[in-house]
Amino acid sequence: MFLCRNAARAFGDSAPPIPGGWLPVEIPCLAMVTPSWVLQCLGQGTAAVGLLRCEEKDCRFGERSGLEGSVDYCRALLAEMGLSREAVQLFDSGVPEEPSPLGGGLPVAGANGAGAKTHVDFSPLGAGGALLKLAARHSPPPELLLTHPHSPFGMIEVLAGCTVCGACASACPAGAQAIERDEEGVSLAFTASSCVGCAGCLEVCPENIMELEKSTDLLALREEKRTLFSDTMPRCENCGEPIAPQAMLDRIGSILEDHPAFAALSKRCIECRKTMF
């Protein structure tokens, strides 16, 4: 049971204690609780997760809508997995005697009396591992797909016009996108379990050809990575080093058209161009 400081004060000496079915965890503000925290609790065997918030007039930070959205996402995800939505609950006042179990007949973590060693990942990337652990416990439909505005995951799609410039990969704070080069060319790779849906890549794309959907795709999360776009890399006629992705050269050519500088750009690498002028 996560509860903010103001809510914890309500359970002081003059109030009845929180029922024994819950383990209270006091934090400064419930807005700190992310879907990742909830999923990690459930993935490690917790029967249910409750969130007890203070009254609106006492709320110090006013982040109530975001909290409600995160809880709604977690409940919707559990339903898609064939589990009980009631295993995640948001309370304004009063606490039930016993938590509503997640389902699946699994024991609560540590119920055997042994202190189980657990690892909690408080980084934004913890959500992916937590969901996969929960899926391993409960075997949901492998094609599970949930689109929700508060999904901690994002799915990126690259439309026609990508030049593989790498701006998106450079801007991604989570390392979900990467430029990969080999002898055959260059590609833009995407790791769904690392994407936090911040949309930073969309803001820096010079061609404006990227789309983001806030969705939880179990198949994509289980993939190591997927290729969003790939292209060939013409080589320098002088030294044989790669020049640039063909799509980028085509884009530059459409801008420069018959400008004499394009011949140098399209036939020689950046180092060999220096010797031409």
* Cα 238 to Cα 68: distance, rounded to the nearest angstrom: 61
* Cα 169 to Cα 86: distance, rounded to the nearest angstrom: 39
* Cα 32 to Cα 35: distance, rounded to the nearest angstrom: 10
Pairing of strands 210-213, 88-91: unpaired
Give the 3-state secondary structure of residue 177.
strand
* Cα 153 to Cα 178: distance, rounded to the nearest angstrom: 17
Per-residue tokens: 140: 């949901």
Region of 82 on the Ramachandran plot (φ > 0 left; ψ -120 to 50 alpha; else beta): left
State the pLDDT at residue 268: 87
8-17: average pLDDT? 63
Give the tens place of pLDDT for each residue, 116-133.
Answer: 556 777 777 789 989 998
State the pLDDT at residue 73: 97
Pairing of strands 25-27, 2-4: parallel
Give the tens place of pLDDT for each residue, 40-95.
Answer: 999 888 889 999 887 766 676 666 778 899 999 999 999 999 999 999 999 886 66
Prediction pTM value: 0.81
CB-based burial of residue 262 (10 Å sphere; 0-12 exposed, 13-18 middle, 19+ buried)?
A: middle
Measure the CA angle with vertex 178, ends 216 and 232; round to 5°.
120
141 CA to centre of own chain = 20
Residues of the chain with CATH 3.30.70.3270: 155-230
Q: Is the pLDDT of residue 110 over 70?
A: no
What CATH class does 155-230 carry? alpha beta
